[in-house]
Structure 1
Amino acid sequence: MSDLFEDDAPEASGNTAGNAHDYSVSEIAGAVKRVIEGEFGRVRVRGEVGRVSRPGSGHLYFALKDDRATLDAVAWKGQAAKLAVKPEEGIEVIATGRMTTFPGSSKYQLVVENLEVAGQGALMAMLEKRRVQLQAEGLFDPARKQPIPFLPEVIGVVTSPSGAVIRDILHRLRDRFPRKVLIWPVAVQGQACAPEVARAIAGFNALTPGGALPRPDLLIVARGGGSIEDLWGFNEEIVVRAAAASAIPLISAVGHETDTTLIDFAADLRAPTPTAAAEMAVPVRAELAALIAEQGARIARVVMLSADRRRQRLADLARALGRPEALTAPARQRLDLTGARLDPSLRGATAAKRAAFARVGARMGPALLTGFLLGERRSLADRAARLAPALATRTDRTRERFDALAARLERAHQARTGNALREIGHDRERLGQMAARLAAVLPVRIERARERLVALDRMRATLGYTETLARGYAVVRAGEALVTGAEAARTEPRLEIEFADGRVAVRPDEAPPAEPRAETSGPAKAAAAKPKKPAAPDQGSLF
């Protein structure tokens, strides 16, 4: 391998190339890759994370740096999902992996297989940074928190089914107020903790109220105490966002009273211990029954006292009103007096009306009716006499108005017709002008087209092979195929040679006649021995 990178000294003879082998770029890149991967098969690198990139491919690219150098690192998609710690810019980590090179850009990099935080101080720094970021988004806003139901029917518990936490919660609920409990088993530490807890919270929220599996009225996320590394799953962003987005009120009971995780800030209520969470979830049944009995007794006493007070008040008011007979006696006496006077008054009014009718009926006779009819007839004749002149006058006025309208319509029609005739004249004049322009332009366009056609035909004739034949060339064919070489011509039984003035058929197997030789001497021989002037270069055939 050392021979690959060894520079041979140039020879004394001045040969600058020397005896060094010429390697390709790919060979050099492969050799460097083998050296680095052989020397650094598996390493642990401590440094500060910087420049984190998460493209859509799922791979994870980041840099590890200290005060003097920077090392590029990459975690492929499958391994990135398994990392216990997600890299965040600014935290100090210890990355375990293997060194390799990327020949595409001539650089080396660390392929990360595991990532862990370098000490508790770095974990606390990362935790504080994440807390500030989520608080800036409003996930910890007290206005978003929901009230805890006083007595939930169903309680959902997100915890490990095998730990002491679930037993403490169930025991405490049984002692205080038994309720239906749904347990969603999850891992409470390790890499699977955060995604499983987030899925459990979202799964409880996805249940349909009143369905076959009842939707909880309250959620409890619980875990026992431990180190910050053990509780780290409840600090992950996915868990905090799931708790903040929960439509069901949520109590966080992670760790002991001194332990604080980010889910405590996003939950609607924080309990110091899982047992305290059960106490916050339901009241004490015996105390509640005693309170209800006490309140019932108080209500009964208050109702009785209120009824007694109202009964006494009613008796007092009744004594102030007096006897009902004394109130209605005057009205009854007035009714009796009025009833006694009603019958004589009705008879007197009937007799008076009958007498008045008799007087009017006595005056009614045929003469009165005839006089009335004559008066009406005269009034009708008078109105008929006045109606005829009025009708004639109204008809004359209407006729005059129609005549005036007809005259205006005639004038408007004549004006409109005159305008139309003038427009037709203008259009006819413009049409004549355009016809004259067209008659003048058409011959010019035809002449230009003819000249262009002649030029194109001349170009066709110039570029055609017939013009080449006129300059002394010939075309050799074997049937319909062209023959362009002597070897091909010897294999054909019959050839046809086309000249400018016609075609000649020949057979390649006929020997050409021998040319006569003549001895030359003197000036003629010297002229023959004189080198000929080189001929003009052959321009070749278009075919």
Structure 2
Amino acid sequence: MNELFEDDGPAPQGNQPEYTVSELSGAVKRVIEGEFGLVRVRGEVGRVSRPASGHLYFDLKDDRSVIAAISWKGQVAKMQVRPEEGMEVVATGRMTTFPGQSKYQLIVDDVAPAGAGALMAMLEKRKAALGAEGLFDAGRKQLIPYLPKVIGVITSPSGAVIRDILHRLRDRFPRHVLIWPVAVQGQDCAAQVAAAIRGFNAIAPGGPIPRPDVLIVARGGGSLEDLWGFNEEIVVRAAAASDIPLISAVGHETDTTLIDYAADLRAPTPTAAAELAVPVRLELMATLDALGARLLRGTVQGVTARGQRLRDLARALPRLETLLATPRQRLDAGTSRLGAALGLAVARKRGGFDRIAGRVQPALLRGALARQRDLLQAREERLNRAMALRAERRRERLEALAGRLSPALARMLGDAGRKVSDGRRDLGRLAERLEAAPTVRLARLADRLEALDRTRLTLGYAQTLKRGYAVVRGDGAVVTGKAAAERASVLEIEFQDGRVSLGGRGTKRAKGDGGPEQGSLF
């Protein structure tokens, strides 16, 4: 009975070891990191989060599972393509655990799109989003200037693209070119290209650095991944916001990036961008000459046609004698009546004078003269007073102007003296430059002449003879073929150290004879 109520104590533990929570978590961490030290995981990007620390947190998932992934700040800066929600990617990294939450996660070193299809899908999605904002509308595009004075080029300074652009501009119409060097591939490409576009737009007109009239963003051909920097949103927004007209020349003719839609004009190649930026100078000059010739021919033809028209109209006019016959007859008739009319008019005027003279008396005339004299004296006095007053006012105004004139004259003389001094100083500098210019010019011409003479000696056939070659002449002319050598009566061979004459036709090889050719040496 006592055995039934006996305390048996703790149950036996067996031989399994005991772990603390931290020990077990550490063991699991070592196993997972040892087995999955470097893995590549393909999946769809789920939730994406980037806090202020700069680290990138996101999920990789398929239709059945989800793996938490994290990329540290330094790794994010090296990524060419950053994961976005909905992308299918291949993530490269290592598996580890997070003991604080009892979970495993993937530390991602690099992310690559899972094939071109994923990149194209992301590109179409971004294109639709930016297009919905109106960044690609045709109504906001600017016209490219017909003949820009300054052209800004945004490209790599070390590639063949900038040489092709400069060569094409030099051939068509030389212009002032400003180059903004940028990376055209890699992680820094998008930021540098956007900064270059904004930098050119920030140049103030009329400043020490000329503001470009048109911009060219150029890069050679490449794969979709190589050109991805020109699909970034920061580049597209910078191109759309540019106040300076922008030509996009990224890739070859079949390559299309989002900057092509935001630019004011797309060129199929960088060389074509230079052709679209400027016209052909020789064609403009030829057109101008043709238009001048047309203007001259038109002027001559117009003058000739109007002269012929004038002669035609002149033949249609009546003769001068016909036009003057009637007026001449009327003049003769008036002349015949003029003598009688003058006598009648004199008689009438004399009768009228006789009637008026009877009423005119000397006393009336003297009174009228006295009244006119008094009126004239009054007006004379008024005129004298007015003239004196006006002269006084003019004198006062002249004195005031004279007082102002003296300081102004002194200032003008001082300014003139300074200008004369500056002119003498500038003239002295120009005289020094003028004296030195002939010497410098002659030295340059002498150097060029010496270089041309060296080139002449290098390219001359005498140098070729020194390398073991010879010149064959037949009858005084250079022989270049067998037929000409056979026709020549005398052959002359020129070596580096002299000439040798041989017989011509007599040196032919006898047919059927396998021995050496027979000839004579002069």
Query: Structure 2 length normalisation: TM-score?
Result: 0.54
Secondary structure, counterpart of 1:156 in structure 2: strand
1:64 deviates by 0.6
Q: Which residue of 1 aligns with 2:383?
A: none
Residue 246 of structure 2 corresponds to residue 250 of structure 1: yes
Between the aligned partners of 2:75 and 2:12, the Cα distance in structure 1 is 47
Residue 15 of structure 2 corresponds to residue 15 of structure 1: no
Q: Which residue of 2 aligns with 1:97?
A: 93
Between the aligned partners of 2:168 and 2:31, the Cα distance in structure 1 is 64
Secondary structure, counterpart of 1:264 in structure 2: helix
Q: Which residue of 1 aligns with 2:171?
A: 175
Which letter does structure 2 place at the counterpart of 1:211? G
2:74 to 61, 70, 78: 78
1:290 deviates by 2.3
Of all paired residues, the percent bearing the same amino acid is 72
Q: Which residue of 2 aligns with 1:151?
A: 147
Which letter does structure 2 place at the counterpart of 1:64? L
Secondary structure, counterpart of 1:84 in structure 2: coil
Which letter does structure 2 place at the counterpart of 1:67? D
Q: Which residue of 1 aligns with 2:215?
A: 219
Residue 189 of structure 2 corresponds to residue 193 of structure 1: yes
> What do residues 120-157 of structure 1 show as CA deviations (whole Å, max 9, x unaligned)?
11111111111111111211111111110111111111
Written as runs of structure 1 = structure 2, the 5 A alignment for 1:103-502 is: 103-298=99-294
Task: Calculate the aligned-residue CA RMSD, in Å.
Answer: 3.8
Q: Report if aligned partners of 2:42, 2:88 keep a CA contact under 8 Å in 1.
A: yes
1:293 deviates by 3.3
Q: Report if aligned partners of 2:248, 2:260 keep a CA contact under 8 Å in 1.
A: yes
Which letter does structure 2 place at the counterpart of 1:188? V
> What do residues 194-222 of structure 1 show as CA deviations (whole Å, max 9, x unaligned)?
22222221221122222222121111111
Q: 1:14 to 1:249 in 2, by over 3 A?
A: farther
1:32 deviates by 3.4
Q: Which residue of 2 aligns with 1:513?
A: none
- Which of 298-307 and 124-133 deviates more? 298-307
1:24 deviates by 5.3
Q: 1:81 to 1:310 in 2, by over 3 A?
A: farther
Q: 1:308 to 1:187 in 2, by over 3 A?
A: same
Secondary structure, counterpart of 1:173 in structure 2: helix
Which letter does structure 2 place at the counterpart of 1:285? R
Q: Which residue of 1 aligns with 2:387?
A: none
2:40 to 32, 44, 52: 44
Aligned residues: 317
1:54 to 39, 50, 63: 50
Secondary structure, counterpart of 2:46 in structure 1: strand
Q: 1:307 to 1:111 in 2, by over 3 A?
A: farther
> What do residues 223-243 of structure 1 show as CA deviations (whole Å, max 9, x unaligned)?
111221221221122221221
Q: 1:127 to 1:22 in 2, by over 3 A?
A: same
Between the aligned partners of 1:76 and 1:300, the Cα distance in structure 2 is 77
Q: 1:16 to 1:285 in 2, by over 3 A?
A: farther
Q: Report if aligned partners of 2:220, 2:252 keep a CA contact under 8 Å in 1.
A: yes
Secondary structure, counterpart of 1:183 in structure 2: strand
Q: 1:306 to 1:50 in 2, by over 3 A?
A: farther
Structure with larger Rg? 1
1:307 deviates by 9.5
Q: Which residue of 1 aligns with 2:454?
A: none
Q: Which residue of 1 aligns with 2:379?
A: none
Query: Structure 1 length normalisation: TM-score?
Result: 0.52
Q: Which residue of 1 aligns with 2:371?
A: none
1:55 deviates by 2.5
Q: Report if aligned partners of 2:77, 2:187 keep a CA contact under 8 Å in 1.
A: no
Q: 1:116 to 1:17 in 2, by over 3 A?
A: farther
1:106 deviates by 2.6
1:42 deviates by 2.3
Between the aligned partners of 2:274 and 2:138, the Cα distance in structure 1 is 22
Secondary structure, counterpart of 2:78 in structure 1: coil
Q: Structure 2 stretches of 5 or more lacking a match?
A: 1-6, 318-355, 368-522
Q: Which residue of 2 aligns with 1:536?
A: none
Secondary structure, counterpart of 1:258 in structure 2: coil
1:292 deviates by 2.7
Which letter does structure 1 place at the counterpart of 2:10? N
Q: 1:18 to 1:274 in 2, by over 3 A?
A: same
Secondary structure, counterpart of 1:215 in structure 2: coil
> What do residues 243-291 of structure 1 show as CA deviations (whole Å, max 9, x unaligned)?
1121111111111111111111111100111111111000000111222
Between the aligned partners of 1:17 and 1:150, the Cα distance in structure 2 is 97
